Amino acid sequence: MSRYQEGDFTAATTLINRLSPQLHRFFVVQSASRRNADDLLQETWLRIHKVRHTYRPSQPVLPWFYAIARHVRVDNYRKAIRTTAREDRLEEMSEMEAAIPGQSGRTDDLEALLEPLPESQREVIEMLTVAGMSLEEVARATSSSIGSVKQKAHRAYEKLRETVSGMRPGKGRRGELS
């Protein structure tokens, strides 16, 4: 990252190649479509390029990247809310049906599993498990305390346990046989 700050094109290319898959997964898990995730990833790299001078080399780079990605996602969400508020309700419904492409595989399963979670918990779980970030890194990326990240993760895991145990045949509430 330090070399990228100094204008080294090779360092920038290396960063993009190494971190794009992680950042893309971050957006795919929380987005309705891969196309939207692609757009968010591109916007993130544009912002990183514009604000690369603000990175402090003594700090870990991954939380810095995720903080920018998170802000891009929030800005995109706010923009979408403003746009939809101005559109006709019937037009909005037809566009939503057309905008959700069929996806398959593990990403769908993960998205379906995480869908009932509140956005903040989904974000923390994705960063911890999919991106493999530490509690400290997630705290920096979300502008939260480590305790807050632990609490969100704990509540998310509890909800996921309830969901998974409810999916097993022959199990009632709290894993009891019915």
What gap in Å lies between CA 174 and CA 177, rounded to an integer? 9
Q: pLDDT digits over 152-167, tens only?
A: 999 998 988 888 777 6
Residue 102 has pLDDT above 50, yes or no: no
Q: Residues 79, 83, 86, 90: is their CA dihedral positive or negative?
A: negative
What gap in Å lies between CA 42 and CA 64, rounded to an integer? 16
Query: Side-chain half-sphere of 3: how many Cα atoms within 13 Å?
Result: 8
- Banded pLDDT at 90 (limits 50, 70, 90): very low
Neighbours of 128 (CB within 10 A): 20
- Is pTM beyond 0.75 here? no
At residue 177, the 3 state secondary structure works out as strand
The Cα-based distances of 104 to 56, 60, 84, 112, 116 in angstroms read 40, 34, 28, 11, 19
Computed over every residue of the chain, the mean pLDDT equals 80
What gap in Å lies between CA 165 and CA 38, rounded to an integer? 34
Minimum mean pLDDT range among 3-7, 52-56, 81-85, 109-113: 81-85
**Residue range 149-154: mean pLDDT, rounded:** 92
**First vs last C-alpha separation in the chain:** 56
Topology (CATH) of 2-175: Arc Repressor Mutant, subunit A (1.10.10)
Percentage of residues of the chain with pLDDT beyond 90: 28
What gap in Å lies between CA 26 and CA 41, rounded to an integer? 9
Tokens found for residue 46? 């544009």
Domain residues of the chain, as ranges?
2-175
